[in-house]
Every structure is written in C-alpha cells, then in structure tokens.
Amino acid sequence: MKTAGLIGGMGAQVTAHFYTKLLEKQNCIKEQDYLDIILYSKTSVPDRTAYILDNKNPDPRPALISAAVALEKAGADFIVITCITAHYFYNEISEAVNIPIINALDVVKEYVLAKGFSDVWLLATSGTIKSGLMLLPKTEIHTLPEDKQAELMDIIYTVKTAPNLTEPRLRLKNLIAQLSFPVILGCTELSLIAEEGHIDVLDLLVQKTLQIGKHA
C-alpha cells in the first residue's frame, strides 16, 4: 500500500471527520491492514476565501506549500487536501512537490459526469464560487443568490468554531429544502452537518484516497 499525506486543519473537525470516514470505509479485521496516513493538521493556514476575495489579506500559499513539502519529506506517496477552497492554489502546491496531489475538483467532475446530472446546485465558500473552480462539462451549475450565499458562509464559519452543531445543521437543512436539483456539498464543513443523499465531496475524497492508497 501507499502512504497518504493529509493536509488538514481547515477546519480541524473536518479533518477528524475525514479520518473517521476513512477508517469506517476500510472496515479492516486487523490494524495492520489500514492505510498508512501522515496527518499534518495545519490549522494556521490563513483564510483561503478571504485571500481569494481580497489578496491584501494574508496569503495561504506559503503555509500550504510548506505542509505539502513536509509531508513529502516525511514519506507520503501522495497528498490529500480536505479543504476545497484551498484547491484554488492546487497548481502552485503541486509544483512544489514531486508526489501527486488528489484534485478534489476532478474527483467531483468524474462523479457528476458518471451520473449524468444536467443541473446541480453548488454549495461552497464564496472563494470557491468566485474563483470558478468547479467547472462541470455538460452540467449547469446553480449557485445561491447573494443573501443566501451570505447565510451559507455564516453557517460554514459557525461549523468551524461551534461546539454544538445542532443550530447550523437545522439552518442548512432549511436552506437545502428550497433547492430543486442535486446538491454538491462543495465545502467539507457541510459534510459535518448535512443529511445523507447529497453529493458529498468529503465522501468522494475518501473513496479516491483508498483507491490510490490501496492499489499501489
């Protein structure tokens, strides 16, 4: 098996959730059969959306690149980044290392294309939305109006810091209830509070991580 390097900490709860999902998906009989993971919980990475919306804010790239380099030096064979907005810097991070980095955006594209969806709603950070990161061939992407997008961002930031997720979970449920097409949970914080039945990028990343890691 290959060793996966995980750039996490964005946010910390998402990183723990990803690792839990990874363990549950493997369901191994003995511990030696689980995929080796090197985890770098880089919580100090500056806000990705803040920088994308205004590059006068602190630049996340140096922290992301240093984390990737550290994981490569530690022995990772490939890298996973659990923050979708951080993929705005994907090319620059990839150029800094000699090991592959899973591109979560490509993973979503593959899934949507395989399902043949003609229309989807994209729930993601304003940084992801503004950057146009999520481009899906043959699929119309619908995004929230400005007031609802502001509400979604508030939900996302609440999830990052709230000890109790009951309130943001209910707010997200009410927001999604107004949408008519399949929903892409394009921010991994949403995986912590969304009901099942949506296109969960974190789930897709878990599947891709195991596909690469367990088929050396």
Catalytic sites, residue numbers: 83, 187
CA-closest candidate to residue 154, choices 130, 190, 129: 190
d(CA 71, CA 174): 40
For 173: left if phi > 0, alpha if psi spans -120 to 50, otherwise beta; the answer is alpha
Q: Give the up-direction half-sphere exposure of residue 100: CA atoms within 13 A in the CB hemisphere.
A: 9
Fill in the amino acid letter for 174.
N
d(CA 119, CA 141): 6
Are 50 and 153 within 8 A, CB to CB?
A: no
Q: Is the dihedral of CA 209, 202, 145, 156 positive or negative?
A: negative
